[in-house]
Amino acid sequence: MKKPKILSLFFTIIICSFYLSCEKDLYDDAIKNESDHYKVKKISFKDFKQNRKALNKLGESIIKKYPNIHNRGVYFEEFGVYVDTTDIRVIEDFDKHSITFRITNQEVNNKIENLVLQSKENGDYEAFVTEYVLSQTELYLISQGQYNEIEKNPDAITKLESSERVVVNSECVSIVSITTTYCKDNEGNLFVSQGNLGDCPIPSHIETYVVVSISSGCLNQYGGTFGSSFTGDAGDTGSGSTGGNSEGGIGVGSPSTGTNDNPVITTPVLNLEEIEANIISILEPTQLEWWNNQPASNNIKHQIRYFFSFNEFSEENEEFTNQFITQTILNPDLNFDFETSIKSPANIDLTQVQDTTATARKFRCVYEKLMQTETFKKLFKDTFDENNRINVKFEISSELPPGRNGSCEMTVAPDGSYNNLIKINSNLLDGTISNIIVAKTILHECIHAYLNIKRMNCNLGSTIPELNNLDLQELISLFYQNFNCHIDVNGAPQSQHVFMFDYLTPTFMNILNEVKGLLISQNHIQQLNNQIYYYPNSNLSEPFNWNDFFYNLSLSGLNNTSSFQTNIQSDSIKYSKYLFYSSLFNMVTKECH
């Protein structure tokens, strides 16, 4: 006995599906037949403000969309803060029309909202918000300025008066393309051609717009109650394209009941600014999800927008942005600084050195000067795979052992990325130590961080020119099996320091020489130029030499290595020069500006 009931239910579903399909086809045919009557054009905000009812409705809609401005009791006449007033679209359909704006806010993501004002019979307006969630392909088209050609169904629509939001079923949407011809009069003013012969004395350009018609009655059939929220003049009844129903309103009954459907007609305004569209078009899905969930005031998002406002979307910049966001996602306990990181050889977290103390200001100033040198970044870029940038967090510490200017400790994150914590002794930043010593210390610890990564994976990176074309993997496997980040305070030689002494002193010298003019005043440069070195137990002397100055400065911190003892300390002249130049390191500029 259950079988007939099941069959009956099955045929009922088939009949309903067929019925809805037929209704959809009829609706599409009606839209196509009426598409000849659509006229789409852009208007200026000045022209828009002449329509007082529409202007008042816009103000009401903005307050409903952003209720906090109402609480402040502020009336915004210039609505450009909340809607894009540079691209206002009007669709005319016989005696009806709609006006569409792109809603603007500080968020940059792959969802665009439009505000639609749809005219009513009495001259008033109803307000709707349509939502469009964009794919990566659509974002790319928008970034190329091809947003008018995108045929896009709204993903949701909200009636602002009732705040009812309904997901839009594609079966309830019909789309047609409308071509508008713009002309110029003799004074150069733009106007829209009506298609009559001779009404366009000076052709300007042609634009194609997508007109989207959303059937409120159809939304009801697919489970929504959206139609019930349309309210018109109470008691209005009528027929035809502007008809109504017995409950008042403007024709919201579903086609299945025989009443006329009054669709919401709009055109998607998807013209994101090129910078915004480009940023979100290069993001991977997980990155885009992270981006969309960040508050508008998020400092990283602001820095990325600012950077691409002045820099091109090159492959290198895109790769950096992708890896930077990935590392930000994977390391929620770190707070990377985008602007600092893109100028550095690593992703940099400066949160622990951002206060207003003199020591923090001194650190930031010296580090920013280092970032201005090409060799500082080039050292890591040329010897390390840019796609596997290291993560570095800086701290100022008062707990380092006496005589120890800095330290570097590495941890391995669960995803396999490497995080280095570099601590700089606060005594080094108290104003009594020269800028150039601070710069050498920061550089020294950054190279420790770099060598830590090499210790973990010797296959990363490529050849350093100063290594006589030997790959780091070969050198490390041959000479330095036990790289260690910590400096032994008891003076035991450490392999990383030996490696720096043997192979990286030319790099130290190049970087410090480049930063010389940024950290040492011209007065102190001249004072050092006047210094004379006297050979021990001899009347011989030689003038001050900047290469010798930076070479011996590079050796500072490496003086406990076997290489230093063998090559410098055992040679009376070399050691004498080391002591002479060491006495000058702290005689130069200590203020950093």
Please give the average pLDDT of every successive group of 10 residues along the chain, which has 593 residues: 49 48 48 63 87 87 68 45 82 90 71 90 90 84 73 88 85 85 78 73 79 84 52 32 27 32 86 75 86 72 80 86 89 86 83 89 92 75 53 91 86 74 93 95 86 58 41 45 39 65 86 94 96 92 96 92 91 95 95 92
Q: Report d(CA 257, CA 253) in Å as an integer.
A: 7
Per-residue model confidence (pLDDT) at position 388: 57
At 246 the three-state DSSP class reads coil
Please tell me whether the overall predicted TM-score, pTM, comes out greater than 0.75 for this model. no
Do the Cβ atoms of 357 and 347 come closer than 8 Å?
no
Per-residue model confidence (pLDDT) at position 457: 52
Q: Report d(CA 499, CA 480) in Å as an integer.
A: 8
Give the CA distances from residue 358 to residues 81, 112, 340, 495, in Å, rounded to whole numbers and listed in that order. Answer: 40, 45, 20, 35
Do the Cβ atoms of 364 and 328 come closer than 8 Å?
no
Cβ-based burial of 354 (10 A; exposed 0-12, middle 13-18, buried ≥19):
middle
The closest of 373, 325, 365 to 345, measured between CA atoms, is 373
Q: Report d(CA 429, CA 145) in Å as an integer.
A: 51
Do the Cβ atoms of 574 and 567 come closer than 8 Å?
yes
Residues 1-6: contacts with CB under 8 Å, at least 24 apart: none
Per-residue model confidence (pLDDT) at position 517: 94
Per-residue model confidence (pLDDT) at position 408: 87
Q: Cα 306–307–312 angle (5° rounding)?
A: 125
Q: Report d(CA 60, CA 422) in Å as an integer.
A: 54
At 410 the three-state DSSP class reads strand
